[in-house]
Amino acid sequence: MSTAVQVEQDPPHPPRRGLRKGLYLIPSVFTAANIGMGFFAVMSSLRAFQFLAGPTPNIEAAAVRFDHAAIAIGFAVLFDMLDGRIARMTKTTTEIGIQLDSIADVVTFGLAPAVLAYVWGYGASLTEGTNLHQLSWFISFMYLMCGAFRLARFNVQASRPRIVAAGTIKVDKKSFVGLPIPVAGGLIAAIVHFVPTPLIGYGPDKARIYSGLLMLLVGLLSLMMVSTLRFSSFKTVGTGSRSMRTIILVLAIGGLIVLYSQYVLLGLVLAYIFHGLITRVFSVFWRKSETDGTIEPNPASHTTGH
């Protein structure tokens, strides 16, 4: 008579829930850093405005504070890129994280650049109380509102994927609809970083001309954010077989930014914006040429049935 020997097995290792919960905090840390950079940019801009007040403005001290505000927005762009990519890599994307990221973008790339453009540019250069000065208030406010609308539209589109022709649900990850607000705020910050001296330092006549050009630029950025122009998202970059080349390219660009940040940052932002605009122009002409060259098929030649 054989006796069955029962081997007591050890229970499986419990999942490391603590580590998993810790992963969810990593994207939120970068989002918090994003908000911190936006807050620092606003406070630094206000501090610079204090140096411009009074009968003898301190242009050099104000320029240093403006440069610090612009650099803070630049770091915020980096943090904004990292929090989303890390959340996707670690599969720790949460609904509250998405909403928190949008709130952070409104502060850092909406409010902070609007304040920076006003204080560095037309706010100190135009005579207070004039129609042009009031228009500058309105343009900065519209920039903030258009940025908030751009983020709200992005959240709605992300939660309601479009239906393709085949009837399947698909999320367009290759492009953004409208200019992303980090790019719009990044362009304002890149310009200030390129020439941190406030516009009032160039004399009253040139300051008014430059203020008008800056107001026009801020207005164009506002319109592009709420437009239907498509800009590349680069979300699929570095995920394929060419990831090593992408890493080398990113390291090369990072090195150039460290050495020549004033030129490289401005060039990168302008290249991104013009790439989206030129792509839209070519797509319009391409569709027009296809429409003009299309030959309608003869309906009598079609066969029906399966």
Q: Report if residue 298 sits inside a domain.
A: no
Q: For residue 147, give its domain range.
A: 23-161+170-235
**H or E element, residue 150:** helix 131-159
3-state secondary structure (DSSP) of residue 160: coil
Q: Report if residue 114 sits inside a domain.
A: yes
Q: Report if residue 67 sits inside a domain.
A: yes
Q: Report if residue 28 sits inside a domain.
A: yes
Structure-token pair, residue 195: 């020439």
Q: Report if residue 156 sits inside a domain.
A: yes
What does the alpha-carbon distance between residue 73 and residue 77 come to, in Å, rounded to a whole number?
Answer: 6
Could you tell me which residues are beta bridge partners of residue 230?
177
Give the pTM: 0.80
Q: Report if residue 125 sits inside a domain.
A: yes
Q: Report if residue 142 sits inside a domain.
A: yes
pLDDT attached to residue 115:
95
- For the chain, the domain total comes to 1
pLDDT by residue for the chain (306 residues), tens digit each? 444 444 445 455 444 455 555 566 777 888 899 999 999 999 999 999 999 887 788 999 999 999 999 999 999 999 988 877 777 777 766 777 778 888 899 999 999 999 999 999 998 888 888 888 899 999 999 999 999 999 988 888 776 655 444 444 455 567 788 899 999 999 999 999 999 999 998 888 899 999 999 999 999 999 999 998 888 876 655 555 556 777 788 788 888 888 888 999 999 999 999 988 888 787 776 766 666 655 444 444 444 344
Q: Report if residue 288 sits inside a domain.
A: no
For the CA atoms of 114, 270, 35, 175, what is the dihedral angle to 10 degrees? 110
Structure-token pair, residue 13: 């290792």
CATH of the domain at 116: 1.20.120
